[in-house]
A and B are shown apart, each in its own frame.
Chain A
Amino acid sequence: MTRKSLFKHLPTTLFVASTSLAAVVHAAAPTELLAGYSGQAQAPSSATRGQQFFTGTHGGDWSCSSCHGAVPTGGGKHASTGKPITALAPAVNPERFTDPAKVEKWFRRNCKDVLTRECTAAEKADVLAWLLSLKP
Chain B
Amino acid sequence: MPNISHPSSRPVVALLHLLGLLAGLGMGIAAWADGEQQTRQVPLLPAYQQECAACHMAYPPAYLPAESWRRLMHTLPTHFGSDASLDTATAAAVSDWLGSHAGTYKRVREAPPENRITRTRWFIKKHDEVPAATWARPAIKSAANCSACHPQAEKGDFNEHRIRIPR
Q: A residues bordering B, Cβ < 8 Å?
A: 78, 80-83, 108-110, 112-113
Q: B55 — which chain A residues lie within 8 A by C-beta?
A: 78, 81, 83
Q: Nearest chain B CB to A85's CB is how many angstroms away? A: 8
Interface of B: prevailing SS = loop
Is A81 a contact of B142 with CB atoms below 8 Å?
A: yes
For the complex, give the distance between the alpha carbons of A43 and B114 in Å.
45
For the complex, give the distance between the alpha carbons of A109 and B76 in Å.
11
B84 at the binding interface (Cβ < 8 Å): yes
Q: A108 — which chain B residues lie within 8 A by C-beta?
A: 83, 85
Write the chain A residue with the least CB distance to B82: A113
Is B83 a contact of A80 with CB atoms below 8 Å?
A: no
Indicate the size class of the contact surface on chain B. 10 to 19
Q: A113 — which chain B residues lie within 8 A by C-beta?
A: 81-83
Of B56, B84, B139, B140, chain A has the most CB atoms within 10 Å of the CB of B56
Would you give 14 A-B contacts (Cβ < 8 Å), ordered by A? A78-B55, A80-B80, A80-B81, A80-B141, A82-B140, A82-B142, A82-B148, A83-B56, A83-B57, A83-B145, A109-B82, A109-B83, A110-B83, A113-B82
Write the chain B residue with the least CB distance to A112: B83
Q: Nearest chain A CB to B73's CB is how many angstroms away? A: 16
Write the chain B residue with the least CB distance to A101: B87
Q: B144 — which chain A residues lie within 8 A by C-beta?
A: 81
Q: A82-B141, A82-B142 are in contact. Are A109 and B57 (CB under 8 A)?
A: no
For the complex, give the distance between the alpha carbons of A109 and B54 in Å.
12
Interchain residue pairs A-B with the least CB separation, the first 10: A109-B83, A81-B56, A112-B83, A82-B141, A82-B145, A78-B55, A83-B56, A81-B55, A113-B83, A113-B82
